Amino acid sequence: MNTFESTFEQTILLTGFGPFPGAAKNPSELLARAMGERPTSPLLPSCELVGASLPTHWQKVRPALTSLLARYRPQIILHIGYASTSPGFHLETTAYNKTCNNPDIEGVPGTCAPILMDSPALIKNTLPLETIATRLVEAGFSAKTSDDPGLYLCNMAYYLSLCHALGCSKAYPVARHHSCLFVHIPALETDDGLLPQEEEGDNRLTLEDACNGLQLLLEELVKAHAPSRELA
């Protein structure tokens, strides 16, 4: 029968973001670290999950990401970001070579300049994201694809990672042989209350549901990253 088995050791890097203007705690950071401490799924027997945080800072996010990639050399990168408009899991299909002038955590506005010069205006993710979103919905989660990650630091990190993954920028001329995805989540219900506490919308996930959904998402990403085998 056709089943999937991970046939090589992999490191999966999960990143969230630190505090952002108006919110002292970011649910994406909590979720990334919770996933890094979560027992590995039986479908990911040789995968190491690493949870990390990226600074919500225009000038620091790129060196922080570069450092994480050099340290862990992940085969799969899952960026997690917070979006109050996301009812569940928004799988971002596209990253744009643009920034906005919204201020970062230190109050410094963006420059509205391209993220990388002499690079594509946008990059499309080549993973089967519609299929993965459908799989999440079939499992009972709210999920869909999105082509609008915003132009804030979420988009910046995603664009840089896709450049690494696809080798489509002069800054990264050689593909790094990894896959990456950005997913937006809503506020999280935790034992300590709602994160962010300033959230005024109705969209939210429990931390347990968010972890379970991301576990399934990671399983699908591993399947897409490595060919399945015919097993007896």
Per residue in 151-193, pLDDT tens? 999 999 999 999 888 877 666 655 456 889 999 999 999 888 8
Residues 6+ apart with CB under 8 A from 202: none
Instruction: Note the helical H segments in the chain.
Output: 27-36, 61-72, 129-138, 153-166, 207-225
Per residue in 87-125, pLDDT tens? 899 999 999 999 999 999 999 999 999 999 888 999 999
- Domain architecture of the chain: domains with CATH: 2-230 (3.40.630.20)
- In this prediction, residue 137 has a pLDDT band, given cuts at 50, 70 and 90, of very high
3-state secondary structure of 223: helix
Q: Could you tell me which of 146, 157, 129 has the C-alpha nearest to residue 185? A: 146
The neighbour count for residue 126, using CB atoms within 10 Å, is 12
Averaged pLDDT for residues 64-82: 93
3-state secondary structure of 186: coil
Report pLDDT for 138. Answer: 97
- Percent of the chain, pLDDT > 90? 64
